[in-house]
Amino acid sequence: MSSRYYISHLNVIHEVIDGEAVVINLEHGNYYSMNDSGAYLWQLIQNGFNEEQITAIMSEQFSISSETAKASLKVFLDHLLEEQLIISVETLPVKEQVMVESKEMVYNPPELTVFNDMQELLLLDPIHEISEQGWPHFAQNTLEKF
Amino acid sequence: METLQIAEFVLPATRRPEGYFEEVEIAFEKAVSNSADIRRYYRLGSEVLCLRFAGEALLKSLSMAFSHLELPPCLPSLTINCWDCDSTDTPMPPPPWLMTAYGPRGHIQGFNNEVIRTVYNPDNSILHMYNNRRRLGIYWMQHPRILPYWEMSFPMRCIIHWWSKLRPFQLVHAGAVGFDKGGILLTGKSGSGKSTTALSCVRSGLKYVGDDYVMISNEPIPFVYSLYNTGKLVPNSVNMLPHLSEKISNKESLSSEKALFFLNEHFPEKLSAGFPIKAIFLPRVTHQKNSRIRQASSAESLLALAPTTVLHLEGDGKIAFDKMRLLTTSVPNFWLDLGTDVEQIPYLIADFLERSNG
C-alpha cells in the first residue's frame, strides 16, 4: 500500500500564497519556506494524495522520469517527517482529492528551507529557586530575547 | 458481568482555572482596599483599555508606554488589574499547579482553556491571566520593582494578544510610520532594522505608531493602531541616530540593555494613534550606502511577520496567522534594503507614501 500523509494540524500552521509556502511549527519553533516544486507537493499532500499518486503527478507535471520523481519525493517527505510537519499513516479517511493548480515552473527538486533562529523562545528555563509562597524564579538562559 | 467502577475525580474549585482566577480577583480587591483604587483609561484600537492599579507602586512603570493614548474615564472593553503583594501588604493565593506545569514561554499546563489563559513569565516572574468571558486580565508580581526594560517597552502584550482573539484586531511584531492618510507597517524579526527605520523618521514629517509591537485590523480596511510610544535601539544604531542619544531613559544600563525611549516624553507631536496601511515594508540591513525599495511577495511578507509574532506570543497562533495572512495579501509588499546613510530612510518612505496616497 502506498503511504499517505497528513499535515500535523495541531502544531503546524501553513499557507501557500501564489505558489509560495509559509509553514510554522508551533511545537519546536522552526519555520519554513519551500521552493516552487516543494510548495506544489505540499499542497498535494494537504489534498490527500498518496506517495504513488504524487509520484505520477510529478512525473507528468514536470516531464521527468518516474524514478527521478520517486527519489526526489522521498527525500522531500523524509525532510518533512524529520521536521515533524507531516505524519505517515497506513489508513486515513480519503477525502476528495482536489487537483492542485500549478503555475508554469521549471522543475527543481523540491526543497524545504528551515529557519531555526527562534527555537530558543520555546526552550524551558530551568527553575532556579522557589519562594516561600510557592512562586518559582527561573535561571535565565537568554540575555536578550527581544 | 462485573462492572468496573471508576470514581469521578473532581478537583476543588480553587485548583481549576476559573476558581483560581476568582480567588486572585478577590485578593486584588483586598489589595485595592489596603492601598488605593487607581484607574487609567487608554485607547486600544477603536476600543478602550482600563488599567486598574492597587496603589501607586506599579503605576508609572506600567503606564508610561501607553501615555500617548490616555482617555478620560469611559466604558472599557478590556480591564487589567495590576498589583503586587509587598506594597499592598496583601498575600497572593499560592499557585495551585504543580512545578511540572511550567511550559515554554511560561505557559501553565492545565490552566489554559477556552475561557481562562495563564502565563507565568519566566523572564520576569510576572503572572498574566485573562478571562475572555469577562474581558478581564490580571497582571501580578510579588515585589514592586523597576521592571526589565523590555517589559516597560511593551507591557501586558500577551493579555492584549488574548483579548484580540475574538475581535478584529491582532497584536503583531512590527513597527509603523506614516502620514494621517496612510503609512507602512515595518516587519521582520529582531535585528532586521525595524526600530532603526521607525526611529529614523522621528525628525521627519512622518508620524510614529510604534517600532516593535503594534495592533492591526483588516476591517473595514487594513489599519494599524499604536499601542506603545516606546522605541528600542542597540548601541550601534544609537550612534547612527545621534539626535536620540539625549533621550535615552536607561543610559546607566546600556552595557547590558538596549537603549529605551519613551517618545511621548520628547516628541508627543510625532506620535499617531494609527492610520490605514498602504504597504508592508520588510527592512533588512545592507552594507551599501543607499537604501532602496523593491517588490516582495505576499509569502515573503507573511514569512517575515507571522513566525516572529506567533512564536513570541503564547496561544491562539492559528487565528493570529489567519489575520496576518489576510493582511499580507491585501496590501502591496516591499523589501526595504537599508543603506548606511540612515538620513535617506524617511525621505524614501515619505516619497513612496506621497505617491501611494496620491
Domain that holds residue A98: 4-119
Chain B hits for A20, CB-CB cut-off 8 Å, are 297-300
What are the CA-CA distances from residue A131 to residues B120, B260, B321, B344 (Å)? Answer: 14, 31, 37, 52
- Distance (Å, rounded) from C-alpha B284 to C-alpha B192? 5
In a domain, A144, yes or no: no
Q: Give the pLDDT score at B4.
A: 45
The chain B residues in contact with chain A (CB within 8 A) are 85, 91-92, 94-95, 99, 102-105, 120, 122-123, 125, 127, 142, 150, 153, 189-190, 212, 232, 256, 258, 297-300, 302-303, 306-308, 310-312, 317-318, 321, 325, 328-329
Environment class of A121 (CB within 10 Å of its CB; exposed 0-12, middle 13-18, buried 19+): middle
Q: For chain A, give the percent of residues with pLDDT over 90.
A: 52
Contact A146 B212 (CB under 8 A): yes
For the cut 70, the answer to whether the pLDDT of residue B349 exceeds it is: yes
Q: Give the pLDDT score at A140.
A: 57
ipTM of this complex prediction, to 2 decimal places: 0.89
Contact B329 A17 (CB under 8 A): yes
Torsion of CA B151, A11, B284, B269, to 10 degrees: -40
Count of the separate structural domains present in chain A: 1
CB distance B82 to B53 below 8 Å: yes
Of 3.30.1360, 3.30.70, 3.40.630, 3.40.50, the CATH number of B169-357 is: 3.40.50
Identity (one letter) of the amino acid at B270?
Answer: K
- Distance (Å, rounded) from C-alpha B79 to C-alpha B338? 40
Chain A hits for B150, CB-CB cut-off 8 Å, are 145-146
Per-residue DSSP letter, A122:
G
Could you report the per-residue pLDDT of B84-142, keeping only the tens digit for each?
999 999 999 999 999 889 988 889 999 999 999 999 987 788 999 999 999 999 999 99
- Distance (Å, rounded) from C-alpha B127 to C-alpha B119? 6
**What average pLDDT is seen over chain A?**
86
In a domain, A133, yes or no: no
Q: Does A139 touch chain B (CB under 8 A)?
A: no
For the cut 50, the answer to whether the pLDDT of residue B1 exceeds it is: no
Range scoring the smallest mean pLDDT among A135-144, B175-184, B220-229: A135-144
Helix, strand, coil shares, percent, chain B, to 5? 35, 30, 35
| Number of Cα atoms under 13 Å in the Cβ half of residue B286 | 15
pTM of the shown model: 0.92
Which residue reads 529605551 in cell numbers?
A: B260
Interface size A-B, in CB pairs within 8 Å, comes to 103
Domain residue limits, chain B:
13-164, 169-357
Interface test with A, best of B298, B311, B324, B329 (most A CBs within 10 A): B311
Could you report the per-residue pLDDT of A41-62, keeping only the tens digit for each?
999 999 989 999 999 999 998 9
For the cut 70, the answer to whether the pLDDT of residue B22 exceeds it is: yes
Contact B321 A118 (CB under 8 A): no
**What average pLDDT is seen over chain B?**
92
Contact A22 B123 (CB under 8 A): no
